[in-house]
Amino acid sequence: MSMAAAAAAIMAVLLAALMARASSAAAAGRVWADEEKGAHNGTARRQVTYDGRSLMLDGARRMLFSGDIHYPRSTPEMWPRLIESAREGGLDVIQTYVFWNVHEPIQGQYNFEGRYDLVKFIREIHAQGLYVSLRVGPFVEAEWKYGGLPFWLRGVPNITFRCNNEPYKVQVYTQVKTDVMYEVRVVHMQKFVAKIVNMMKDENLYYPQGGPIIISQIENEYKLVQAAFHSRGPPYVRWAAAMAVNLQTGIPWMMCKQDDAPDPIINTCNGLICGETFHGPNSPNKPALWTENWTSRYPLYGHDPRFRSPADIAFAVALFIARKKGSFVSYYMYHGGTNFGRFASSYVTTSYYDGAPLDEYGLIWQSTWSHLRELHAAVKQSEEPLLSGAYSNYSFGEQQEGHVFKTESNCVAFLVNFDKHKTSNIQFGEASFQLAPKSISILSSCRRVVFETAKINAQHGLRTAQVVQYLNNVDSWKVFKEPIPLAINNSTHIGNRLFEHLSTTKDETDYLWYLTRYDYRSNGDTQLVLNVESQAHVLHAYINNDYIGSVHGSHDGPRNIVLKTPIMLRKGQNSISLLSVMVGSPDSGAYMERRIFGVRKVSIQQGHQKSHSLNNELWKHQVNPGWLIWRNE
């Protein structure tokens, strides 16, 4: 047997063992806490379990409302007030991704300080009496640079991200000990996930230890790319699930948008209308969880803001609870915050989900915040029948339906009108109810309306800005403009080809110059045209230091941007300078490590003659931070 075959066999055995362990946990239908801590301090054992109705804390089913707040998109000074506003808005849980590329920007060098102090963030949540849903990933997407993956992963030989690929999962190197060579396997993905899990354990932050973390997520929306990896997709899902369970956190794990999530991993829904699109848990022993209920859409350059009405959000939540027996809903985002630095993904603006219940600055966004708070209170007062009652449903017409949850002592009903234009009158029980267009009425005790999704009681908020200082004095500004490079000097980025943008800049900047010279021999007054094709987001072009044109891409446009512009050349040597600009980095898709950016083709056409390609000319590539403009204090 070859060494490669032997290694594959060993990995297959290890995976089978991990899955057997995971299946054992699934058979129990719960994730038990480690008893050691309770035995030492004499307290009762804390545990997180689940069944087909909900997550259970210490054996009690819970209806949980959650909201996403990402710690790197705000500041530590903001965290207490953000969490307090979320609690006052009726949330039980704060959900956040863990961002690998901010914590390990250089391989083996970690940063958990300032805005990246994950432990401090979680401790603040705990101090205010809320729970935590920790989405470890480590791929997160999240309109975040490279989907949260550190850029140095691109440099791992033969790597393919997010599939059954050994370089992504495992790095092999040799170690010599007592004259014997050992093969040491360091798992990139598993190493980081284990680091986060062990950090949480060391800080006693898991619920069984007395902490607030009640559920974790491994991977993220993998179903969207799984088919692209063919036979390497499903084994990766099984490996990731088994790896997570084997870390023994004492709490459940989930995978969102992953219908085939292996037991005991809970498959969850992401989207706008999970009450209509979610196929449900893939086992009757798993609860219906909604990990991302989008509260608006993230802003893009060149697009108008797209807000979602509070009535529409509330309708979607109530329908998920009624139709799918949903017991966990997380708002994405509850506070979007700010994409500081260069961490936004392609074409995403600095402001992130400004129309969430808490706006970019942490201010309450009315009437969304208040309307959802009323919804949470109405649902919570019927928590017992929702989580333990017998379920039945009714049809009152083509677009009207009812959902009832009933115990011996309590009852709650959801009356639904899907018609977007007409009010509907229906008879339910001994009473008649008028349902507004596209609305759900929640009936406490199946008689009294306690909440209507279409009825907004809170006044619409108004956000104003006040000038605190004028900065328009021309004497207070200095402009530093870097010269456009002309000469092709000695450089490590020089060759007879066009270099790929990201591989050349190493993610140090969004700017890369492409520089060459063109020897022009005049042939009459024939028109000259410069043609440039690029897969960057913006391109600026210069001839002999003179600006000749630009082209901008867009989020929804083609990947190629093309600049085609008339030019004038002098006889002899001419400099051509092309500035390639990235407006953020990609955050999703299969084979991200193979994505190509930057200038791909350059040619000059003279009249009706065949274009002269410059692709294989001598090109210098200069990494450049662009222009700097700042105020002189």
**H or E segment to which residue 288 belongs:** strand 288-294
Q: Using CA atoms, how far apart are residues 452 and 435, in angstroms rounded to an integer?
A: 9
Tokens coding 130: 């809320």
Active site residue 384: no
Tokens coding 575: 């400099």
Q: Using CA atoms, how far apart are residues 134 and 449, in angstroms rounded to an integer?
A: 35
Q: Using CA atoms, how far apart are residues 554 and 156, in angstroms rounded to an integer?
A: 30
Query: Quick one: which of 112, 127, 73 has its CA closest to 196?
Result: 112
Tokens coding 62: 């819970």
Block residue for tokens 């009535």: 311
- Among residues 219, 221, 401, 533, which one is catalytic? 221
**H or E segment to which residue 21 belongs:** helix 3-28
Query: Taking the CA atoms of the chain, what radius of gyration do you get in angstroms?
Result: 29
Q: Using CA atoms, how far apart are residues 162 and 475, in angstroms rounded to an integer?
A: 53
Q: Using CA atoms, how far apart are residues 235 and 466, in angstroms rounded to an integer?
A: 56
- Among residues 292, 374, 401, 533, which one is catalytic? 292
- What's the start-to-end Cα distance of the chain, in Å? 71
Q: Using CA atoms, how far apart are residues 617 and 514, in angstroms rounded to an integer?
A: 11
> Residue 499 has what DSSP assignment?
P
> Residue 208 has what DSSP assignment?
G
Q: Using CA atoms, how far apart are residues 45 and 198, in angstroms rounded to an integer?
A: 20
Query: Quick one: which of 79, 73, 80 has its CA closest to 99?
Result: 73
Distances (CA, A) of 316 to 66, 322, 324: 15, 10, 11
Confirm if 268 and 255 have CB atoms less than 8 A apart.
Answer: yes
Q: Using CA atoms, how far apart are residues 259 and 271, in angstroms rounded to an integer?
A: 14
Cross-strand bridge partners of residue 532: 563, 602
**Sheet containing 528-534, strands listed edge to edge, beginning at the edge strand earlier in sequence:** 561-567, 528-534, 599-606, 612-613
Q: Using CA atoms, how far apart are residues 173 and 156, in angstroms rounded to an integer?
A: 12
Amino acid at 318: A
Active site residue 221: yes
Q: Which residues have C-beta within 8 Å of that of residue 400, sequence separation ≥ 6?
A: 415, 416, 417, 418, 419, 424, 426, 435
Q: Using CA atoms, how far apart are residues 356 and 298, in angstroms rounded to an integer?
A: 10
Q: Using CA atoms, how far apart are residues 349 and 358, in angstroms rounded to an integer?
A: 17
Query: Quick one: which of 488, 495, 481, 491 has its CA closest to 575?
Result: 488
Amino acid at 132: V
Distances (CA, A) of 478 to 45, 80, 468, 631: 63, 38, 21, 6
Q: Using CA atoms, how far apart are residues 370 and 281, in angstroms rounded to an integer?
A: 30
Cross-strand bridge partners of residue 528: 567, 606
Query: Quick one: which of 445, 443, 422, 421 has its CA closest to 433?
Result: 443
Task: Point out the residues that are catalytic.
Answer: 221, 292
